[in-house]
């Protein structure tokens, strides 16, 4: 059984393994001991922080672990509000018309405009599931457990939730979009730029990034072709988010031009469809799968399990194994989402 819980410092080696296996372009998991340690420390602080009535600098990092072996299968996270400590940059794609009635010329062109439009929004991030665990409901659990948390504790998150999707790059970490930027404005390769961003050293972006809008039709054909496209390994995650109601509002990443998708918290399908139930610990024969989370924040737990829910009484039968994984007992409340 896979169970999601808040990360602790004892998970450092497992997080480092995830960082190595995630490969190039995974900005939030750079292979850097100081950064990974700081992320764990900040997450421990954030989960222990009480009386949060609005999102500020909190960052919640979790791991999924196998209850049989204790092995960490992957990681997933939420940033309460980005842009508080370091700027968060993105490109917005807009359309302008260059028209001359006298010459009977009417050209529609697209621009990339540099900005900080997501400042203060909550970001779902750092979703990585190791290949050997990518089966069953594990992927859904690692992604949607965050929405169960948001539904239960909405005061900790912003009205707008967004996610940066990994853009197109090759096995060596070369991005066609970045190659054009590098040639004209930078002197460092994509992997170095991505790494510096991951460890929080973003000053070079503001220093070197073009301040005026960029005409997309002036970019190389290779760069134009990947704007708004996702990395092959990211397609399943994007499809899952799209089913939840996330959509791209013409914002893309400044390095690889991967799409940024967003949704109002109240309109996320898992948030709308999840519900609370009172626990009754008992063996049962139900074949209905649910994603289930306890209602604690500091000691958050989530798992995928079969359960028997009775709508009339608002009670759910959980097996002793599932109840133990969630740290709940008879009479406790859980939040559930049918699968």
User: Which domains are assigned to the chain?
Assistant: 2-90+115-270 (3.40.630.30), 274-338 (2.40.40.20)
Q: What is the pLDDT of residue 233?
A: 84
User: Would you name the residues annotated as active-site residues?
Assistant: 231
Burial of 84 (0-12, 13-18, 19+ CB in 10 A): middle
**pTM, 2 dp:** 0.90
For the stretch 175-216, pLDDT in tens is 899 888 878 877 666 666 666 666 556 556 666 677 789 999
Positions in the chain whose pLDDT score sits under 50: none
DSSP E strand stretches across the chain: 2-6, 59-66, 72-79, 90-100, 105-115, 122-129, 160-164, 214-215, 247-252, 259-264, 275-281, 289-294, 302-306, 308-310, 315-318, 333-338
CA distance 282 to 320: 6
């Amino acid at each position: 059984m896979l169970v999601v819980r808040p990360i602790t410092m004892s998970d450092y080696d497992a997080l480092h393994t995830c960082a190595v296996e995630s490969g190039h372009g995974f900005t939030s998991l750079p292979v850097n001991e100081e950064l990974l340690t700081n992320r764990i420390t900040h997450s421990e602080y954030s989960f222990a922080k009480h009386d949060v009535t609005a999102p500020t600098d909190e960052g919640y990092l979790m791991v999924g672990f196998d209850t049989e072996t204790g092995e960490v299968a992957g990681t997933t996270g939420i940033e309460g509000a980005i842009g508080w400590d370091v700027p968060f940059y993105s490109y917005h794609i807009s359309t302008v018309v260059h028209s001359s009635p006298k010459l009977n010329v009417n050209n529609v062109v697209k621009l990339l405009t540099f900005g900080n439009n997501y400042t203060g929004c909550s970001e779902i991030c750092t979703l990585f599931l190791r290949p050997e665990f990518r089966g069953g409901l594990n992927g859904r659990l690692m992604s949607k457990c965050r929405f169960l948390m948001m539904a239960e504790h909405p005061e900790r998150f912003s009205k707008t939730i967004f996610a940066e999707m990994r853009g197109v790059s090759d096995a060596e970490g070369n991005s066609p979009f970045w190659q054009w930027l590098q040639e004209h404005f930078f002197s460092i390769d994509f992997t170095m730029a991505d790494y510096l961003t991951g460890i929080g050293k973003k000053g070079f972006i503001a220093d070197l990034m073009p301040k005026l809008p960029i005409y997309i039709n002036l970019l190389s054909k290779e760069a134009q072709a990947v704007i708004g496209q996702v990395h092959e390994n990211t397609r399943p995650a994007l499809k899952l988010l799209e089913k939840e109601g996330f959509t791209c509002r013409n914002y893309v990443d400044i390095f690889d031009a991967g799409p940024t998708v967003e949704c109002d918290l109240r309109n996320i399908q898992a948030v709308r469809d999840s519900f609370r139930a009172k626990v009754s610990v008992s063996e049962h024969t139900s074949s209905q799968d649910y994603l289930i989370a306890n209602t604690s924040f500091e000691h958050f737990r989530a798992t995928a399990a079969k359960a028997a829910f009775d709508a009339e009484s608002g009670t759910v039968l959980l097996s002793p194994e599932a109840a133990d994984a969630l740290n709940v007992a008879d009479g406790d409340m859980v939040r559930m989402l049918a699968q």
